[in-house]
Amino acid sequence: LEVPECVINVVNYDMVQQMSLASAPYKSEVNEFEKAGFTEQRSELVKPPRVAEAPVQIECLVQNVIPLGEEGGAGNLIVCDVKLVHIREEILDKSGKIDQQKIDLVARLGGDWYCRITPESLFKVPRPGKGSVIGIDGLPEPIKNSVVLSGNDLGRLGNITDLPDDNSVAEFAQKAAIKNLLDATIGDDFTRERELHREAKKFLDDGKTEEAWKILLLSLQE
């Protein structure tokens, strides 16, 4: 590299067509800012300028360039040391973090395909806590081998550190809908397990993992 420095400019939907123009194989002397109609903005710590239109601009020093192959389209892996990050204030939430519903990001897929990150396409996945979670391998066999629960369901169930206690499970069993289900399936273990698993799945779909666990623990009782 002539200059082992760079700026990573995060692309949102408003600039995606210009970004695509900048990806053409221009000669080194061609100014891609001019070709794509972007505005050059002086960086503070590195020589390459920033793209003023980008909602986030990351000034970096290049540590290593790793070729990923020699055939067409192989590309390179660029390892960088981040020195300074510029974030447009209007994309921040009240706590000062980037609001994923405001930034309007674009994701690069394959070929000519891209994806626009809209509020409708966003969803959250709770991260495992600081303690050791039980994991799917720690689930009781009847739950792990359920014909009702999906891999996603099992992943949610495994993302806890402690199971509900016996008292809370017994109290939950007295809820009308659960009690009726238990009474209706006395002597029919197969149907009871299946129906309880279906109820647990509904709670999981609503993000109520603790309630789902209480139902599943009931399904394990003799």
pLDDT digits (tens, 9 = 90+) for 184-203: 999 999 999 999 999 999 99
Residue 126 lies in a domain: no
23, 81: one domain: yes
pLDDT over 80 (residue 101): yes
115, 173: one domain: no
Range of the domain at 62: 5-121
pLDDT digits (tens, 9 = 90+) for 109-124: 988 999 999 999 999 9
Strands in the chain per DSSP E:
5-9, 40-41, 50-51, 56-67, 76-87, 106-108, 114-116
86, 172: one domain: no
pLDDT over 80 (residue 48): yes
150, 191: one domain: yes
Q: What is the pLDDT of residue 49?
A: 98
142, 108: one domain: no
For residue 35, the domain's CATH number is: 2.30.110.10
199 contacts 215 by C-beta, under 8 angstroms: yes
Last residue of a domain, one of 79, 94, 121: 121
62, 39: one domain: yes
Distance CA 150, CA 27 (A): 51
Instruction: Please report where in the chains the tokens 């360039």 appear, as a residue.
Output: 65
Report the length, in residues, of the chain.
Answer: 222
| Sheet of 56-67, strand order | 5-9, 56-67, 76-87
Distance CA 57, CA 86 (A): 5
Instruction: Please report where in the chains the tokens 């939907």 appear, as a residue.
Output: 13
Last residue of a domain, one of 121, 155, 186: 121
29, 103: one domain: yes
pLDDT digits (tens, 9 = 90+) for 53-62: 999 999 999 9
94, 190: one domain: no
Domain count, the chain: 2
Residue 131 lies in a domain: no
Convert 195-217 to b/e letters by CB count within 10 Å (16 or more is b): bbbebbbebbeeeebebbbbbbb
97, 159: one domain: no
42 contacts 27 by C-beta, under 8 angstroms: no
148, 177: one domain: yes
What are the residues facing 79 on neighbouring strands?
64
Decide: helix, strand or coil at residue 209: helix
Q: What is the pLDDT of residue 72?
A: 77
117, 141: one domain: no
83, 172: one domain: no
Residue 191 lies in a domain: yes
